[in-house]
């Protein structure tokens, strides 16, 4: 199907002129394939794009490339061959005839080619000179925009295109006409999320728009993954309404598998690593996914062993205190069934002991205190003995005087 659609884009304009009835039959067949619903989702999107290309009358796929130097019509010698032609009972396409004078025929062809088209060396030299002069002009005329004017104009164009579209299919069709330059895809993805956050309530239009871009071009998947990480890192800056819209948009991309679930590796659900805003974001994200996928599918997805590494932050097992916090959190948002394995682990979790350094410090301090007490006692005993000696000396002196 992909090969057929790619070929149809290139020759469709010519077929419309030569055989419009056959072209009509081809698109009837494509329409029936869409209605049957047995094709892959990506192929369905390609067929829809093909209908849009035909609606534009193959504007981006002309019959002849512009600037092509064609042979004059009176000098053209055409040969019409059909797939049904046969020679002596064999189809023409399945017949191969060995040419014993191949080298002589090629030499004659080169002579005729030079007479008609001219020398290749002269044209190549002229082309090289033109290319070198064009490159020099481009180097001299290259201008870099450091004011951000082009970026602002692009964001304005994308915003107006989104707001003027009734459906996401129409929006994508208009976006394709913009012919974004390499590196501008990130701006497009950021504008989709930003426009979604500005709505009063969540609009599925934006989730389906982001999903379709991830389906059509895989280059958009890492871009949306990076945006998810940036949004989660700065989620405390968003208002409650914007936070809800962004969470629902990414939830749509996750439960439709347009965005890989490996993005959960950035979330660490502990008391110290989360804020009130991030907890609300996680709650809306997970509850929206659960409501769309159902309890059974959500449990299977979060228990998938291949994604266990990505879910270590959501279900922490490094410290029983963090584990209890995660269990209480999921129970509070009515998703406690996701913590069954976590509860079993908590039953057998080792008790938390004080660090060895702390224990050693306590021992040292106790020994220091005991030594200090002993030294104080010894000093007190020595001072008392000195006083007794002084008293005895005084008594002896008084006796002598008497």
**How does pLDDT run across 22-76, given as a tens digit for each residue?**
888 998 988 888 887 777 888 888 888 888 888 888 888 888 877 777 778 788 8
Angle between helix 240-255 and helix 276-293 axes, rounded to 10 deg: 40
Backbone phi, psi, residue 90, to 5° = -110, 145
Q: Can you point out the beta strands (E) in 276-361?
A: none
Distance of alpha carbon 164 from alpha carbon 199, whole angstroms = 15
The b-or-e profile of 85-107 (16+ CB within 10 A means b, else e) is eeeeeeeeeeeeeeeeeeeeeee
pTM value > 0.75: no
Q: Domains in the chain, please, with CATH?
A: 1-19+43-65 (no CATH), 152-167+183-347 (1.25.40)
| Residue 98 C-alpha from the chain's centroid | 54
Contact 178, 157 (CB under 8 A): yes
Q: Are 211 and 253 in contact (CB under 8 A)?
A: yes
Q: What is the pLDDT along the chain (402 residues), one digit of tens a residue?
A: 888 888 998 899 888 888 888 888 998 988 888 887 777 888 888 888 888 888 888 888 888 877 777 778 788 888 776 666 665 555 555 566 778 888 898 999 999 888 887 765 555 555 555 666 555 555 555 556 566 678 888 889 999 999 888 898 899 888 888 888 888 889 999 999 999 999 989 999 999 999 999 988 888 999 999 999 999 998 988 898 999 999 999 999 999 999 999 999 999 999 889 999 999 999 999 999 999 998 899 999 998 888 888 998 889 988 888 899 999 999 999 998 998 888 888 888 766 544 444 334 434 444 444 444 444 444 444 445 556 665 655 665 555 555
């Amino acid at each position: 199907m992909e090969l057929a659609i790619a070929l149809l884009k290139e020759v469709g304009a010519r077929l419309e002129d030569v055989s419009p009835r056959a072209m009509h039959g081809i698109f009837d067949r494509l329409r029936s394939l869409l209605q049957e619903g047995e094709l892959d989702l990506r192929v369905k999107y390609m067929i829809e794009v093909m209908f849009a290309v035909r609606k534009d009358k193959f504007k981006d796929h002309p019959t002849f490339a512009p600037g092509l130097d064609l042979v004059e019509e009176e000098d053209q010698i055409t040969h019409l061959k059909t797939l049904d032609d046969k020679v002596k009972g064999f189809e023409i396409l399945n017949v191969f005839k060995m040419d014993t004078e191949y080298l002589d025929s090629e030499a004659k062809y080169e002579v005729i080619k030079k007479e008609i088209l001219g020398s290749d060396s002269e044209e190549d030299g002229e082309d090289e000179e033109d290319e070198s002069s064009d490159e020099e002009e481009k180097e001299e005329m290259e201008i870099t925009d450091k004011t951000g004017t082009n970026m602002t104009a692009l964001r304005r164009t994308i915003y107006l295109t989104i707001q003027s579209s009734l459906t996401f299919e129409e929006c994508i069709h208009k976006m394709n006409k913009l012919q974004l330059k390499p590196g501008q895809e990130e701006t497009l993805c950021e504008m989709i999320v930003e426009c979604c956050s500005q709505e009063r309530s969540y609009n599925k239009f934006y989730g389906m728009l982001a999903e379709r871009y991830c389906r059509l071009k895989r280059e958009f998947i890492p871009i949306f993954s990076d945006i998810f990480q940036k949004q989660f890192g700065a989620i405390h800056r968003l208002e409650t309404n914007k936070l809800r819209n962004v969470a629902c948009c990414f939830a749509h991309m996750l439960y439709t598998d347009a965005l890989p679930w490996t993005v959960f590796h950035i979330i660490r659900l502990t008391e110290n690593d989360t804020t009130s805003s991030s907890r609300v974001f996680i709650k809306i994200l997970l509850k929206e996914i659960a409501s769309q996928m159902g309890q059974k599918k959500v449990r299977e997805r979060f228990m998938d062993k291949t994604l266990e590494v990505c879910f270590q932050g959501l279900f922490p097992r490094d410290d029983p205190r963090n584990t209890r916090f995660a269990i209480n959190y999921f129970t509070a948002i009515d998703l406690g069934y996701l913590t069954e394995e976590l509860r079993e682990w908590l039953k057998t979790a080792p008790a938390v002991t004080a660090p060895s350094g702390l224990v050693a410090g306590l021992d040292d301090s106790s020994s220091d205190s005991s030594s200090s007490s002993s030294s104080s006692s010894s000093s007190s005993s020595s001072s008392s003995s000195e006083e007794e000696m002084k008293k005895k000396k005084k008594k002896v002196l008084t006796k002598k005087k008497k």
